[in-house]
Amino acid sequence: MPGFLIHVGASVLCSHGGQAQATAPNPRVSVSGQPSVTLPAPWLVAGCALPPPPAANGPCVTAQFVSGATRVTSNGQPLLLFDSQAICAPTGTPVLIVASQMRVTAM
Protein backbone atom coordinates (compact mmCIF):
# COMPACT_ATOMS: atom_id res chain seq x y z
CA MET A 1 0.00 0.00 0.00
CA PRO A 2 1.37 3.49 -0.80
CA GLY A 3 2.54 5.77 1.97
CA PHE A 4 4.23 9.12 2.48
CA LEU A 5 8.05 9.16 2.33
CA ILE A 6 9.92 9.84 5.57
CA HIS A 7 12.58 12.57 5.71
CA VAL A 8 15.13 13.47 8.40
CA GLY A 9 12.82 16.13 9.82
CA ALA A 10 10.03 13.64 10.57
CA SER A 11 8.90 13.33 14.17
CA VAL A 12 9.78 9.78 15.21
CA LEU A 13 9.38 8.58 18.81
CA CYS A 14 10.07 5.38 20.70
CA SER A 15 7.08 3.89 22.55
CA HIS A 16 8.21 5.64 25.75
CA GLY A 17 8.47 9.15 24.29
CA GLY A 18 12.16 9.23 23.34
CA GLN A 19 13.06 11.18 20.19
CA ALA A 20 14.55 9.07 17.36
CA GLN A 21 16.91 10.64 14.80
CA ALA A 22 18.25 9.13 11.58
CA THR A 23 22.03 8.64 11.52
CA ALA A 24 22.46 8.39 7.74
CA PRO A 25 20.32 10.77 5.65
CA ASN A 26 19.98 9.99 1.95
CA PRO A 27 20.86 13.20 0.05
CA ARG A 28 20.04 11.66 -3.36
CA VAL A 29 16.29 11.99 -2.75
CA SER A 30 14.88 14.97 -0.89
CA VAL A 31 11.30 15.77 0.04
CA SER A 32 10.09 19.08 1.43
CA GLY A 33 13.68 20.30 1.14
CA GLN A 34 15.06 17.60 3.45
CA PRO A 35 16.94 14.34 2.73
CA SER A 36 14.97 11.11 2.79
CA VAL A 37 16.03 8.05 4.79
CA THR A 38 16.71 4.52 3.53
CA LEU A 39 15.87 1.25 5.27
CA PRO A 40 19.30 0.07 6.50
CA ALA A 41 20.19 3.35 8.24
CA PRO A 42 20.13 2.98 12.06
CA TRP A 43 18.36 5.54 14.23
CA LEU A 44 19.54 6.91 17.58
CA VAL A 45 17.02 7.36 20.40
CA ALA A 46 17.43 10.04 23.08
CA GLY A 47 15.22 10.79 26.06
CA CYS A 48 13.55 7.39 26.48
CA ALA A 49 11.68 7.27 29.80
CA LEU A 50 11.86 3.48 30.29
CA PRO A 51 13.96 2.78 33.41
CA PRO A 52 17.11 0.61 33.29
CA PRO A 53 17.37 -2.85 34.90
CA PRO A 54 16.29 -4.21 37.33
CA ALA A 55 13.08 -2.11 37.05
CA ALA A 56 12.77 -2.60 33.26
CA ASN A 57 14.96 -3.34 30.24
CA GLY A 58 15.36 0.26 29.03
CA PRO A 59 16.04 2.87 27.98
CA CYS A 60 15.75 2.60 24.19
CA VAL A 61 19.11 3.47 22.62
CA THR A 62 18.80 2.64 18.92
CA ALA A 63 16.07 1.70 16.47
CA GLN A 64 16.20 -0.29 13.25
CA PHE A 65 13.51 -0.18 10.60
CA VAL A 66 12.50 -3.58 9.25
CA SER A 67 10.10 -2.55 6.46
CA GLY A 68 10.19 0.08 3.75
CA ALA A 69 9.05 0.84 0.22
CA THR A 70 8.80 -2.19 -2.04
CA ARG A 71 8.93 -0.36 -5.37
CA VAL A 72 10.92 2.83 -4.72
CA THR A 73 14.63 2.70 -3.93
CA SER A 74 17.58 5.07 -3.81
CA ASN A 75 21.13 3.78 -4.24
CA GLY A 76 19.62 0.28 -4.28
CA GLN A 77 18.03 0.66 -0.82
CA PRO A 78 14.29 0.93 -0.03
CA LEU A 79 13.11 4.32 1.19
CA LEU A 80 11.18 4.58 4.47
CA LEU A 81 7.45 5.23 4.44
CA PHE A 82 5.07 6.63 7.05
CA ASP A 83 3.80 3.09 7.75
CA SER A 84 7.29 1.50 7.95
CA GLN A 85 7.89 -0.63 11.05
CA ALA A 86 10.91 -0.39 13.38
CA ILE A 87 12.14 -2.08 16.55
CA CYS A 88 14.05 -0.37 19.37
CA ALA A 89 17.05 -1.95 21.07
CA PRO A 90 17.42 -3.21 23.74
CA THR A 91 13.70 -3.04 24.60
CA GLY A 92 12.19 -4.63 21.47
CA THR A 93 9.37 -2.06 21.42
CA PRO A 94 8.10 -0.33 18.26
CA VAL A 95 8.85 3.15 16.98
CA LEU A 96 6.02 5.58 16.24
CA ILE A 97 6.21 7.94 13.26
CA VAL A 98 4.14 10.86 14.49
CA ALA A 99 4.54 13.46 11.72
CA SER A 100 6.23 13.78 8.34
CA GLN A 101 5.81 15.47 4.99
CA MET A 102 2.52 14.79 3.19
CA ARG A 103 3.28 15.55 -0.44
CA VAL A 104 5.31 12.63 -1.82
CA THR A 105 4.05 9.06 -1.72
CA ALA A 106 5.72 5.81 -2.69
CA MET A 107 4.90 2.15 -2.76
Q: Where are the domains of the chain?
A: 3-106
pLDDT digits (tens, 9 = 90+) for 41-79: 999 999 999 999 999 998 999 999 999 999 999 999 999
Global confidence as pTM: 0.93
Q: Which residues contact 29 (CB under 8 A, 6 or more apart)?
A: 5, 35, 36, 74, 79
CB 18 within 8 A of CB 49: yes
Q: What would the CATH number be for the domain defined by 3-106?
A: 2.60.200
How far apart CA 68 and CA 86 sit, in angstroms, is 10
- CA-nearest of 50, 24, 48 to 37 is 24
* pLDDT at residue number 73: 97
How far apart CA 15 and CA 59 sit, in angstroms, is 11
* pLDDT at residue number 85: 97
